[in-house]
Structures are given as structure tokens and as C-alpha cells.
Amino acid sequence: MAEATQKQPNPTASRPVRCIVKLGGAAITNKGELESIGVENLRSACAQLRQAMSHSGATEKVAGMDWSRRPGDPTDPVVDAEGLSEMEGLGLDTNFVVVHGAGSFGHFQASRSGVHKGGLQSTLVKAGFVATRISVTSLNQEIVRALAREGIPSVGMSPFACGWSTKQRNLESANASQIIQSLHVGFVPVLHGDAVLDELLDCTILSGDVIIRHLAQLLNPKYVVFLTDVHGVYDRPPSDPNAVLLREIEVDDTGSWSIVKPALKGSNKGVEISVAAHDTTGGMETKILEAAAIARLGVDVYITKVGTEHSLRALQGDTSSEDWLGTVIRSSK
Amino acid sequence: MAEATQKQPNPTASRPVRCIVKLGGAAITNKGELESIGVENLRSACAQLRQAMSHSGATEKVAGMDWSRRPGDPTDPVVDAEGLSEMEGLGLDTNFVVVHGAGSFGHFQASRSGVHKGGLQSTLVKAGFVATRISVTSLNQEIVRALAREGIPSVGMSPFACGWSTKQRNLESANASQIIQSLHVGFVPVLHGDAVLDELLDCTILSGDVIIRHLAQLLNPKYVVFLTDVHGVYDRPPSDPNAVLLREIEVDDTGSWSIVKPALKGSNKGVEISVAAHDTTGGMETKILEAAAIARLGVDVYITKVGTEHSLRALQGDTSSEDWLGTVIRSSK
């Protein structure tokens, strides 16, 4: 890991990455229904991403980049080739990376087969690996298309196909040179949690959160945004009426964290922190740990609810005002 | 290129690749209709591939590996997890690589925008690059699913995502280590013609035929099969009633080729060789040149019509009998 990190070129010299965005599985899919996209949330997230990328903030002409047929669409897509060739650039700061979770895609296939446990000599695991990748890459395709319809030049990149692999579930090989090349020429890479090969277990699941941490380390973005289906991190399950939204968490050098805002009564040691009720990989503990690991790098992490004014402000990197609703996780230094 | 070839591990030491299969765009899509799959041809190609992979030749239990919803399917997929976990392996020699063309996918998007000419500073080209990749990866997804339904453990691998790139349209970087790893653990990599980055032109189209030649060089398969929509290579357009199917072509060390069977009257210099009328990249000349380049490596190339008894025999590597219909291209040595 550390070696892989060092070997790769540093893209920040030429064009610093502004933001890595996690589209949480719970935020963009309908958790109760197999392979069902949360169409409105996904559309909103893509439109807000475009707004955050926009130089002027004004609504420019959208250069639609999904020229494929839609299911049930009787006519071929219309492409304004002349109009596009006359546009002087997109007017967008495209220096973003998108990573998404699986939600109701992939989880069913992975859990039925136990892909995360490994063991490819088992026919069930081998079949489940194939089935899981089919499901998560379907979702990736839909997200790339939704971004492209908003005029965001997005390119899907599957971690498995990129050659990313793990060793005992820890990221072992994760060359990002193609991601960096793509950013350099103005594309927005779209990665996802994936089934990958594991040096010891044969195979496992690599979560989107682990991918984000690795990319944050490599690309040193200005900030990282997690879009989820609740307003942020709570002191107990958000369904609990007494749940308190934690507004600011600080992480020190050792990885220990403390709640800065709000001031909670008593010790925070016993706080049952909760981000999203429905996580397909790792759950809330992993998510907090990954977010804390990113904050330790000196990169602010904003966790907030998809499809709200707060998510737009997070994507714009502006969470300083008092009325912003979400959780900021940052380094105490 | 040569350097990249040398650097990569030689997989033939442990498990020789049996066959690289090209599913031609014209063979598996409906050329007249935008983004329309030739469902019956694709299904037949996948079933024949399974038969060719089968150790016993008999029909074993098919371990279906597409556990995703089908459009219009009201019910969730049924997965026989218990049955699968009891299976002792797949009973298949999965040491195959599949590469497919674009056909009615990608061609529209690429030609509307001129992606093959490069120039990413143009908004039209940038949008076309994104649109082309969306279209060809949609087709890749459908082919992976069709293979998975036949119990073939297929994994989609996009050349762009794999970091493959060109320089002035010649393959420049094409690391195959993930393909080799995947073969090693029993997966069937499924690649495709793709929009890629180009060191001099910014971007271009990398055709499936060029991918095949590179993989043949790296993996040294026993044979390569091109499945297309006509019986093989003809001496003139196959639509011409006087067209003669060329049964055997020999390629010498210099790359010159001569027709061994049938014995044609006069010189073959003027022969207007034709493979498939509808090629999205390169056309017939490129195809013959790529096939000849593979044959020069000492790897036999079989070109034949999809969905026939001849395609099954080609996939099984058995084209020796007189009644096999197709074109064999081999080295004269």
C-alpha cells in the first residue's frame, strides 16, 4: 500500500483535486427493493454536482453526454453535434472523483454467496463473484449515465478491472495512474465498491469507503463529501427521537476522536454513533473509521443528506455557516 | 509495447490459454438498429462457448451466474445457493478470453463526435468520448450477463479502465496482468473495443481486433476464433453471387499472404478480400491484417459464421474436416 502510494505520480502539482464524493448506497438506491435506483436522489445529486463544478454558478448550456437509448424510448437520441462543437469548453471545474456504494445492488448477490469470505474453489462463491460484479457494474453504468446527462464528463472505472486487489481484505494493489490520467484530461472518474481478488482469501468485497480513503491519501483533495440518507452522524440510531446530530468531530494524530459540537452531557465514550441504518459493507463503524482516517490526513470530511441544500453546500465546500446541517470530521491539528 | 510485453508474467507456464474469441460487432448486434443486440446469435455464441469449454461434452448442470433482475421481470431472481455450493467445480475449461466489437453500439456515438480523430479540447469530442464509452460498456454488460447465464464465470474488463492507451493510434500501454490473474483463478475476461486516451491525439478508438492481436502475442493461445456474420473471408463482397469463400490462407514471415485453398484462377493479387460488410472500426482490411499478424505468431486463426455448426467446431479447435465452412489463416512455416 504505502509503496504503491509513493510510486504513483503526484497529480496535485498540476491540477489539485477539489473533492472526492461518496454517493452512499442508501442515498441513491431504494434499500427495500432489489436493484432499484433512487431516481430522484440520484438526479438531484448529479445536478448539485454540476452546480458545484460550475465556474459561474449560473446555469450554462448542458452538454448532454448520454447518447444511448433509454429503456422504452421509441426514438433514437438526438445529438446537437453542431452546438456542442461550438461550445468553448464546459465551463466546469471537473476535478472531482465520484465513488459510490452498492445499496440494493450487489448486496443480495454478495450475501447469498459469501463473496467477502473468499474461497473461489467453491462454485457458489465463484458464481456469486460474477453475479455481484454484474450487479454493481449495472449500478455504475446508471450513475455514469445520470452524470453524463447533466453534462459531467464521467467515465466508469471498476476497481476489479483496474487491477485493484486486497490481501486479507486490506487494500494491497491499487494503482491510480489511470484515474490520475483521466482527471488530467478533464474526465470525472466514477468508481464503486466491487468484488476483487484477494491474495490470501482468493476474493473479497472492497467497499467504497476504503476506496475513498485510499484516493484521499493519493490525491489529497480539498475536502471529501459523503452523501447519505440521514443528516449526518448521530449519537444513537437516527430513528431514535432523542438522537442528536453531531455537528463537528475532531480526530487527533492517534486516530482518537472527540465531539466538539454540540457539547454533550457527560462523557462521549458511550455514544452509539450512527450514520446510516442500511449499509451493505462494513456498517457505521467502518464508515466513521474511514472518515476519521481521511480527516487525519488533514482533509475535511462532510457527511450530509443527499438532495438537500446542505448537500449542495457540502459539494461546494462551504459548510461554515451555522445553519448548515451535517457532520464535519476534521483533524484537531 | 514490446517492453510492456516482456515485463508481464508468462501465464502459459501454469495454465495455457486455449482460445481467444472475437465476437464480431456484426455477429452479435443488429446493424440497422441503434443499440440492438442480436439476441439469438449472442445466446447461441454463449451456449457454444460453454459446449467448447465443457470437459465431457455432455450437458452438465448450468451454474447460472447472472443473479440480476431482467427488464420487465416482476420477480426477483431465484438463486439455488445450496445446489451451487454442492457442485464440485464447473466442469469447464475456462481458459478462454472473449473480446467483442461494437456493432450498433458505440459506432453512432463515435462517428457523430469524431472520437477516433482525437482532440479532447473540443466539447463535442469530449462528450462523444463519454457517450461512446457508455454505449460500448452497455454492450459489454449484456455480453457478460449472457455468458454468465450459460454458467461461464465471465468478468467484464474495459480497456480504458484497465489503463490501456495508444500513441498515434498504436497500442502504447496495455498491461494484461489483471487479465492473467483473472484467468489464473478461473474467470473468463470479457474485453471490448473502447474509447481510450492517446498520448499524441488525446483520445481515439481502440478496436477489438487490435486488442486480440496484442492478447494473442501475450497469451500465446492455441487458436483464435473470429465469429462474424458471414462464413469467412471471400475473394469479393459476400453479397456478390460469384464470391468465393477462401478456405485457407498462409502468411509468411514478412506478413505476405497467399491463398492455399481453393486454387483460384490467375493471380490472387487483385482479390478484393471481404470479411464482413459492416465493420465499425477499421473494416475488412484491418481485420485481415490483424488476423495475418496473429497467424505470423504461429497461432491459427479461424474466421467463421456465428450460430452455425462451423462456429461450434471452430470454438472446439476442430476445423480439420473437409466439410468445415470458414477461413483458416495460418503461418506458412
Supply the pLDDT for residue A13.
46
What does the pLDDT read at residue B250? Answer: 93
Helical H segments across B54-176, by residue range: 81-86, 107-113, 123-149
pLDDT single digits (tens) B240-259: 888 899 999 999 988 888 88
pLDDT score recorded for residue A55: 78
For chain B, what's the residue count? Answer: 333
**Is there a binding annotation on residue A208?**
yes
Does any domain span residue B78?
A: no
Residue listed under C-alpha cell 487525519: A296
Kindly state whether residue A182 falls inside one of the protein's structural domains: yes
pLDDT at residue B267 above 60?
no
Mean pLDDT of A227-242: 88
Q: Is the pLDDT of residue A230 over 50?
A: yes
Interface test with A, best of B130, B154, B179, B182 (most A CBs within 10 A): B130
At residue A14, the pLDDT reads 54
For residue A11, tell me if it sits in a domain. yes
CA distance B269 to A33: 63
Neighbours of B7 (CB within 10 A): 9
Residue B12, φ and ψ in degrees, nearest 5: -70, -20
Which residues of A are less than 8 Å from B112 in CB distance? 67, 79, 81
**Least confident span in A8-12, A85-89, A211-215, A261-265:** A8-12
Closest approach of B300 to chain A, Cα-based (Å): 28
Q: CA of B89, closest CA in chain A: separation in Å? A: 6
Predicted local distance difference test score (pLDDT) of residue B2: 41
Instruction: Out of A71, A123, A131, name the one closest to residue B66 (CB).
Output: A131
Specify whether the CB–CB gap between A70 and A142 falls below 8 A: no
Q: Select the residue of B35, B63, B197 nearest A127 (Cβ to Cβ).
A: B63
The answer to whether position A288 is within a domain reads no
Mean residue pLDDT of chain B comes to 88
Q: Which residues of A touch B121 (CB under 8 A)?
A: 89
Question: Would you say residue B5 has pLDDT above 80?
Answer: no
Residues of A whose CB is below 8 A from B89: 121, 123
pLDDT score, position A107: 92
State the Cα–Cα distance between residues B47 and B144, nearest whole angstrom: 13
Contact flag B127-A85 (C-beta cutoff 8 Å): no
Domain contains B292: yes
Number of domains comprising chain A: 1
Torsion on CA atoms A193, B35, B94, B3, rounded to nearest 10: -80
* Side-chain-facing half-sphere of B14: CA atoms under 13 Å: 10
- Residues in chain A within 8 Å Cβ distance of B155: 129-130, 133, 160-161
Query: Cβ-count burial of B151 within 10 angstroms (0-12 exposed, 13-18 middle, 19+ buried)?
Result: buried
Name which of B66, B71, B81 is nearest A71 (Cβ-Cβ): B71
Tell me if residue A139 falls in helix, strand or coil: helix
Q: Is A103 annotated as a binding residue?
A: yes
Q: Could you give the 3-state DSSP secondary structure of residue A51?
A: helix
| A112–B79 C-beta distance less than 8 A | yes
Q: What is the pLDDT of residues A75-129, one digit of tens each?
A: 888 899 999 999 989 999 999 999 999 999 999 999 999 999 999 999 999 999 9
Asked whether residue B81 is domain-assigned, the answer is: no
Q: For residue A141, give the nearest of B121, B124, B141 by CB distance.
A: B141
The partner residues of B321 in beta bridges, in order of sequence, read none
DSSP classification of residue B37: B
What pLDDT is recorded for position A253?
87
pLDDT the model gives residue B273:
53
Average pLDDT over residues B154-167: 97
**Closest listed residue to residue A288, CA positions, set A229, A246, A329, A254:** A329
Domain range for B306: 2-56+90-331
Residue A222 in 3-state DSSP? coil
Q: How far is CA B285 from the centre of its chain?
A: 17
At A57, the pLDDT band (50, 70, 90 cuts) reads low
Q: Is residue A69 part of a domain?
A: no
To the question of whether residue A107 is assigned a binding role by annotation, the answer is: yes
pLDDT of residue B57: 55
Q: How far apart are CA A70 and CA B34, in angstroms?
A: 11
- In this prediction, residue B164 carries a pLDDT of 98
Q: Taking a C-beta distance cutoff of 8 angstroms, is the pair A195, A136 a contact?
A: yes
Is pLDDT above 50 for B1? no
- Among positive and negative, which fits the CA dihedral B134, B137, B143, B149? negative
DSSP per-residue codes, B258-280: EEEES--SS-STT---BS-S--S
Q: Which residues of B touch A9 (CB under 8 A)?
A: none
- When CB atoms are compared, the residue of B68, B120, B154 closest to A185 is B120
Does the distance separating the beta carbons of A35 and B68 come in below 8 Å? yes
CATH of the domain at A56: 3.40.1160.10
The answer to whether A103 and A31 have CB atoms below 8 angstroms apart is: yes
- The answer to whether A250 touches A172, Cβ cutoff 8 Å, is no
ipTM for the predicted complex comes to 0.92
Instruction: Specify the pLDDT at position A296.
Output: 95
Residue A266 pLDDT? 55
Residue B102 annotated in ligand binding: yes
In this prediction, residues B197-212 reach a mean pLDDT of: 96
Check residues A270 and B34 and name the one with the higher pLDDT.
B34
Would the pLDDT of A11 be above 50? no
The answer on whether B287 is annotated among ligand-binding residues is yes
User: Is it the case that residue B278 has pLDDT exceeding 90?
Assistant: no
Tens-place pLDDT, residues B215-234:
999 999 999 999 999 999 88
Q: Taking residues B83-111, report their average pLDDT.
A: 94
Q: What angle do CA A277, A282, A283 make, to 5 degrees?
A: 15
* pLDDT single digits (tens) A163-220: 999 999 999 999 999 999 999 999 999 999 999 999 999 999 999 999 999 999 999 9
Query: Would you call B149 helix, strand, or coil by DSSP?
Result: helix
Please report the number of interchain residue pairs, chain A to chain B, with beta-carbon separation below 8 angstroms: 205
Please check whether residue A40 lies inside any domain of the structure.
yes
Average pLDDT over residues A250-270: 76
